[in-house]
A and B are shown apart, each in its own frame.
Chain A
Amino acid sequence: MANGLISSVKEKELRKARGITTHRKESALSERGASAAKTLAAIKALGFTHVLMLPDGESRLLYQAIGDDPDIHLITPCREGESIAIAAGLWTGGRKPLIVIQNTGLMEAGDALRGCGMGPKVPLRLVVGWRGYGSAQAGRMPIDSAYTYTEPLLSAWGILYWRIMGDEDLPMLERMDRTAAETSLPAAVVTGYAFRP
Chain B
Amino acid sequence: MTMTTTLQWPLVSQNELDFDFLAFGMGHAGDFGLGLALARPERKTIVLKGDGGLLMCLGSLVTMGRYAPGNLLVLLMENRSYEMVGAQPLPPRADFTALARAAGFEGGGATGKGKVERITTLEAFEKALPRLLTEEGPHFAVVPITNKDPLPPVSHTDHAGRIRKLRKGLGLE
Interface residues of A (CB under 8 A from B): 50, 73, 75-79, 81-82, 84-95, 97, 111-116, 119-122, 184
Contacts and interface: CB of A to CB of B under 8 A. Distances in A.
Given A111-B26, A112-B28, A97 B35 contact: yes
Nearest to A73: B38
Given A94-B39, A120-B163, A115 B170 contact: no
Interface stretch (B6-14, B55-63, B118-126, B134-142): B55-63
B23 to A, nearest CB: 6
Contacts of B40: 93-94
B25 A89 contact: no
The 9 closest A-B CB pairs, nearest first, are A89-B35, A93-B39, A78-B59, A115-B25, A85-B28, A85-B31, A112-B25, A89-B36, A121-B160
Contacts of A115: 23-26, 28
Please tell me the size bucket of the interface on B: 20 to 34
Given A77-B31, A82-B57, A92 B163 contact: yes
Contact of B35 (A76, A88, A119, A121): A88
A90 B172 CA distance: 12
B32 interface: yes
B30 to A, nearest CB: 8
Nearest to A82: B31
Contacts of A77: 31, 59-60, 63
23 contacts: A75-B38, A75-B63, A77-B60, A78-B63, A81-B57, A82-B60, A85-B35, A86-B31, A86-B32, A86-B34, A89-B35, A89-B38, A90-B38, A92-B32, A92-B167, A93-B38, A95-B35, A111-B25, A112-B25, A120-B159, A121-B159, A121-B160, A122-B163
Most buried by B among A73, A79, A92, A113: A92
B98 to A, nearest CB: 18
B67 interface: yes
A50 B34 CA distance: 13
Contact of A85 (B25, B62, B67): B25
Interface in B57-80: 57, 59-60, 62-63, 66-67
Contact of A82 (B24, B36, B59): B59
Contact of A95 (B39, B59, B162): B39
Contacts of A184: 160
B166 interface: yes
A62 B26 CA distance: 30
A75 to B, nearest CB: 6
Contacts of A113: 25
Nearest to B40: A93
Contacts of B39: 89-95
Interface string B150-173: 000000000110110011001010
